[in-house]
Structure 1
Amino acid sequence: MASLVIGLSIGLAFGLALLITFFISRQKMKRAKESDDDHHVFDTLFADEFGNRIGPRKFSLNELAKATSDFNNENKLGEGGFGSVYRGFLRDLDTYIAVKRVSKASKQGIKEYASEVKIISRLRHKNLVKLIGWYHEKGELLLVYEFMPNGSLDTHLFKGKSLLTWETRYKIVQDLASALLYLHEEGDYCVLHRDIKTNNIMLDSSFNAKLGDFGLARLVDHSEGLKNTLLAGTVGYIAPECLSSGKASKESDVYSFGVVALEIACGRRSIEPKFQDSEAVLVPWVWESYGNGKVLDVADKKTGTWFDPKQMQCLVIVGLWCAHPSHEQRPSIRQVIQALHFKTPLPKLPSTMPVLSYKAPIAPLIGSSEPVLESNIALTIPR
């Protein structure tokens, strides 16, 4: 009897060991397959560009670790749901860089980052952040960009990094418009950015503005109208028709541009919960002042009276024009540039903000401060 018990115990233990070994092996195979799939995504997307040595350069992990002092926290420029960004220095190029180290737990998938590299590697414009290179192996994904010494626009407007002069602010809006004109009209394809906001507008050493972060961008033919995509963007910057249909377009990018223009003029965020209801959302609040003939009253109080009244009026009206609730009433980015340079009369907008009806949103808003990618939504709730 004792021998039988011992035999059964050994048999059970052996069977359990086999089961555990099988489970571990299966998990390893699954991870290996996922890794192979990720590499396949990069190999497929970048075969043409990198095979012909066109576009960003492929770095080694050792090069980037050395450039950032092994990703030392002292070199960390920022952190988000995607991972962290570090400052580095490349001796062979004699230049500073910004290295985005994508977190393995990032909610933004490998295909979105591959899309970012694929799209931005095709772009060449002075007002777009330049992608220098990338690394993807051994579970690591690193994107290497030109270093922007003055950081993002939101740190200056909302976090007190510096008080931007009016001249600088107006120039930033013109730079952003120039970047959008290139994306929408001047390339072989139209690029829909889909996440234009102050966090994604970077400033170089001379405070020239450059648009970055193309993780949600999409390429479309110039002849196409609205583009069926996942709902994407940041609450406060998303055009109302996108919440209804999920369709992105040039006009939805222009809407986001308009919100940013108003933020620059007013020095406050698109949504400010600390204000009373009538002032909490930027666009309706500014539109009310416009209707009352008090456009200059919305100017950022931090600038005092140190702004050009003609330019301020122009910027506010152009911002409202771009953020019109109806996408059919918004200007093209080319019309925006003409207005900002006073080459065309400003539009006469309704004295009260139009209220349009839309279908119910295709998905509820997600209560998160980071990008969320699901089957039908990609939203960011601003901090």
Structure 2
Amino acid sequence: MADEIYRSPSSTAPSLATSNFADEGLFGEGGFGKVYLGFLRDINCSIAVKRITPNSQQWVKEYLSEVTTIAMLRHRNLVQLIGWCHDNKEFLIVYDFLPNKSLDFHLHREPCFLTWDKRYKIAMGLASALFYLKEECDQYLSFNAKLGDFGLARLIDHGQESQTTTVMLGTDGYIAPECLVTYKATKESDIYSFGIVALEIAFGKKAFAVIERNGKRFKTKLVEWVWELCRKESLLHTADPQLHGNHEMKPMERLLLVGLACAYPSYFDRPSIPQVVDILSFKAPEMPVSTYIAAPQDNIVTSSASFSFHTGASSRSQTQSSSIASSIHSLKG
């Protein structure tokens, strides 16, 4: 990885590095564009080049400010930005190439070789990265997708609660429901995205999962399927079958409950990232205690319930009214 941020005055270098964006070099595709594998000889570095096509002049201004901010970030759980370039209406972002590929690749391949210990470590790493962005950075970045699939982050100051955008960018399935209505990115919308990834790690299913019911297969949102499991009181018995039952029950309980709480449709009912870190790291003396009645339907509150987070470090307790449903109605320590 390069020690300094690489900046090319034109797209020539990344283009050559990727053999002019040849199809055989296509590495992935997301809500922000296509990603190509390449190699920069002048810095002796394998790279991942994200190729983006802007759709407005305002978008260009946001791109420039955002890549500048991303360049200042340094964290072991964040993909390292190497550089960027733009010319002839072509916008490229160059990242350090991760030879081990993405979480998405390893989690959804068959067979999946991610053990439970590795999965839990990954969840903790993602939570750590979010904590860094939210609590330790001078400026706050709001991500609308998985941390490993940055896209273009929405730049938000600590003192600013939300930012409005005319175009909602991000990977479908990870965008918080309020963003689709208000076009406002908030810290809570990042928590939602983390919750979806947490559920993916536990269940081994994509954000849009293919479910079999009564002999028929259909596609649904992962979080909606999880709520259905809650109503059937079978949540804790439906972990990823590729784990073959080789997982610890209490860490699984924590990851599932945190995932559900983070992916709750009402943004003001989601936990904070310090609470998430405390629970997953077992620093909290107790699990969140939930007494849920009915699952949320179309983001409308249909019944009330109590949901409390207990964090050992700060002894903070937050009681929230929500419409969350779960068969996990008594999960303590």
Give the TM-score of the pair, scaled to structure 2.
0.75
Q: What corresponds to 1:348 in structure 2?
A: 289
Amino acid at match of 1:180: L
* Deviation larger for 157-166 or 257-266: 157-166
- Of the candidates 156, 163, 175, which is equivalent to residue 220 of structure 1? 156
Amino acid at match of 2:263: A
Amino acid at match of 2:257: I
Q: Secondary structure of the residue that 2:105 maps to in structure 1?
A: helix
- Of the candidates 166, 175, 179, which is equivalent to residue 230 of structure 1? 166
Tell me if the contact between 1:97 and 1:146 (Cα under 8 Å) persists in the aligned partners.
yes
Distance 1:83 1:236 in 2: 16
**CA distances 1:49-87 after superposition (whole Å, capped 9, x unpaired):** xxxx98443365454344334544443323567654332
Distance 1:337 1:290 in 2: 24
C-alpha deviation, 1:141, in angstroms:
3.1
Distance 1:80 1:284 in 2: 22
Amino acid at match of 1:357: I
Tell me if the contact between 1:174 and 1:337 (Cα under 8 Å) persists in the aligned partners.
yes
More strand by share: 2
Counterparts of residues 7-22 of structure 1 (less than 5 Å): none
Amino acid at match of 1:182: Y
Q: What corresponds to 1:333 in structure 2?
A: 273
Q: 1:272 to 1:101 in 2, by over 3 A?
A: closer
Q: Secondary structure of the residue that 2:208 maps to in structure 1?
A: coil
Q: What corresponds to 2:25 in structure 1?
A: 75
Q: 1:138 to 1:288 in 2, by over 3 A?
A: closer
Distance 1:160 1:93 in 2: 36
Q: Tell me if 1:128 matches 2:81.
A: no
Q: What corresponds to 1:357 in structure 2?
A: 300
C-alpha deviation, 1:333, in angstroms:
0.7
Distance 1:114 1:266 in 2: 38
Distance 1:84 1:235 in 2: 15
Q: What corresponds to 1:181 in structure 2?
A: 131
C-alpha deviation, 1:123, in angstroms:
1.6
Give the TM-score of the pair, scaled to structure 1.
0.66
Q: 1:243 to 1:80 in 2, by over 3 A?
A: closer
Q: 1:137 to 1:221 in 2, by over 3 A?
A: closer
Distance 2:77 2:100 in 1: 14
Q: Tell me if 1:249 matches 2:199.
A: no
C-alpha deviation, 1:113, in angstroms:
3.6
Tell me if the contact between 1:174 and 1:340 (Cα under 8 Å) persists in the aligned partners.
yes
Tell me if the contact between 2:30 and 2:171 (Cα under 8 Å) persists in the aligned partners.
no
Counterparts of residues 159-308 of structure 1 (less than 5 Å): 159-160=109-110, 162-193=112-143, 195-197=144-146, 201=147, 211-215=148-152, 217-230=153-166, 232=168, 233-272=170-209, 275-276=212-213, 280-290=220-230, 293-308=233-248
Distance 1:242 1:61 in 2: 33
Larger radius of gyration: 1
Q: What corresponds to 2:258 in structure 1?
A: 318
Distance 2:264 2:33 in 1: 35
Q: 1:261 to 1:81 in 2, by over 3 A?
A: closer
- Of the candidates 77, 87, 97, which is equivalent to residue 47 of structure 2? 97
Distance 1:285 1:70 in 2: 42
| Corresponding residue pairs, total | 292
Q: 1:54 to 1:328 in 2, by over 3 A?
A: same
Tell me if the contact between 1:286 and 1:298 (Cα under 8 Å) persists in the aligned partners.
no
RMSD across aligned C-alpha pairs, in angstroms?
A: 3.2
Distance 1:149 1:264 in 2: 20
Distance 1:341 1:192 in 2: 23
- In structure 1, stretches of 5+ residues that fail to align are 1-52, 202-210, 359-383
Distance 2:221 2:16 in 1: 45
C-alpha deviation, 1:151, in angstroms:
2.1
* Deviation larger for 282-291 or 265-274: 282-291
C-alpha deviation, 1:278, in angstroms:
10
* Deviation larger for 57-66 or 133-142: 57-66
Q: Secondary structure of the residue that 1:272 maps to in structure 2?
A: strand
Distance 1:227 1:103 in 2: 22
**CA distances 1:309-367 after superposition (whole Å, capped 9, x unpaired):** 21111110110111123222211011101000111122122143244439xxxxxxxxx
* Deviation larger for 60-69 or 327-336: 60-69
Q: 1:103 to 1:316 in 2, by over 3 A?
A: same
**CA distances 1:224-276 after superposition (whole Å, capped 9, x unpaired):** 22333336234432323333322221111101111110111011123335544
Tell me if the contact between 1:287 and 1:352 (Cα under 8 Å) persists in the aligned partners.
no
Counterparts of residues 3-152 of structure 1 (less than 5 Å): 55-58=5-8, 61-79=11-29, 84-102=34-52, 109-152=59-102
Tell me if the contact between 2:254 and 2:279 (Cα under 8 Å) persists in the aligned partners.
yes
Q: Secondary structure of the residue that 1:280 maps to in structure 2?
A: strand
C-alpha deviation, 1:105, in angstroms:
8.7
Tell me if the contact between 1:87 and 1:98 (Cα under 8 Å) persists in the aligned partners.
yes
Amino acid at match of 2:192: Y
Tell me if the contact between 2:154 and 2:185 (Cα under 8 Å) persists in the aligned partners.
no
Amino acid at match of 1:230: T
Q: Secondary structure of the residue that 2:271 maps to in structure 1?
A: coil
